[in-house]
Amino acid sequence: MHIVTSTKDLADVCQRLAQHDFVAVDTEFLRETTFWPKLCVIQLASVEEAVIVDPLADELDLGPFFDLMRDESVVKVFHAARQDIEIVYHLGGFIPHPVFDTQVAAMVCGFGDSISYDQLVHRITAERIDKSSRFTDWARRPLSDKQLDYALADVTHLREVYHFLKANLAEQGRSHWVGDEMEILTSESTYRSDPENAWKRLKLRVRKPVEFAVLQEVAAWREREAHERDVPRNRIIKDDAIYEVAAQQPTNTQALAALRTIPRGFERSRTAEDILAAVKRALAIPKDQLPEVPKGRSAPDGSAAAVDLLKVLLKLISEANGVASKVIATMEDLEKIAASDEADVAALKGWRRELFGEAALKLKRGEIALAFNGKRIVSVEQDEPIVAPKAEPSKRRRNRQKTEKAAAE
């Protein structure tokens, strides 16, 4: 088994790999005690060879690996690529391109929502992958033979999976469907961490603008602090503490120490001073300039039933076409379509509109109906749009019921 531990060796390997149309890529990392994932192992494979790169080796510079990831002539094949790409973006400052994610491709090819790698390998190759080494300590050296076998299997099988899915997509004319998803996966905005938007990671347990302002300030401070110290966010301050700080708005150490979510003695730390400063910044915002508390998604009156019907239609179409429903439309898409025919959602654009969006709009307009055919639900074209009877005003309905009752007596 070839383990690359020097820059020269890595340069030679990457030069060979760059001669091929694609390279299978995987990484092993740890992030339990850090903000950014700590890269421990890189696995690379072409159709001719497979190697393991040790990024923790003293004599190794990852420059040649980054050059390979930048090479536009080589497709980088990952499974569930987001965290692998995040690592490259953090360490190298760029997004690999072009990219092919076999998990996304599998969903388009009918393998269900977010299928795991070992399940996908088994269904395509009938091989079983031993996952017992998945959560081992990848930073410890030397790596065991079992760890190395597991790591290498991740990319050797990935070659076969890629060939199968690529051929399947081409046969069904769906290659461009995956291309649309890859644009999102390779967008910098997907990986850029903006402290000013850190509050979006939290549940909005605030009702007043001033509470929301405090929440934003403290969340942004925590995000910057976690970046700089390279520790998980909750090592700085837990989410529950941010919620309580936003509600109570302490401006001195005594008030901070009185909070239930703040550990004893915490108020004497530099971190406590930073939190109090963040609270004071929020409280200094003029009342007419306080941020508006975002409103939760609320479905328009009567749209709940429409969403339920759209969910049934989505399931019907996804099963009929062998495409995971998650790829076609999200619950938010369905809610927006139920509210407006002009909703700005992916489900009403491109191939998704052809596959599902148009049918969804027809269902809303009563131009198609859902019906049972034996034990199966099917969609049925309507000659005339279905028009729901208008509900009578409640007062008029009660009067009519009284009249009918009196007549019956």
pLDDT per residue as tens digits for the range 294-334: 886 555 555 788 899 999 999 999 999 999 999 999 999 99
154 and 270 co-located in one domain: no
**pLDDT tens digits, 130-189:** 888 888 999 999 999 999 999 999 999 999 999 999 999 999 999 999 988 898 899 998
Residue 29 DSSP code: E
pLDDT averaged over consecutive 10-residue blocks of the chain (409 residues)? 92 98 97 93 97 96 98 97 96 96 95 91 92 88 94 95 97 92 89 92 92 97 96 95 97 95 90 96 96 74 82 93 94 94 94 95 90 70 54 55 56
DSSP string, 274-338: HHHHHHHHHHTS-GGGSPPPPPPP-PPTTHHHHHHHHHHHHHHHHHHHT--HHHH--HHHHHHHH
249 and 135 co-located in one domain: no
Three-class DSSP category at 33: coil
252 and 281 co-located in one domain: yes
184 and 205 co-located in one domain: no
CA distance 129 to 187: 31
Identify the domain boundary among 257, 289, 321. 289
Structural domain of 75: 3-190
Number of domains in the chain: 3
Long-range CB contacts (within 8 A, 24+) of 299-302: 299/335, 299/338, 299/339, 300/338, 300/339
Owner of token pair 């109570």: 248
50-53 vs 38-45, strand pairing mode: antiparallel
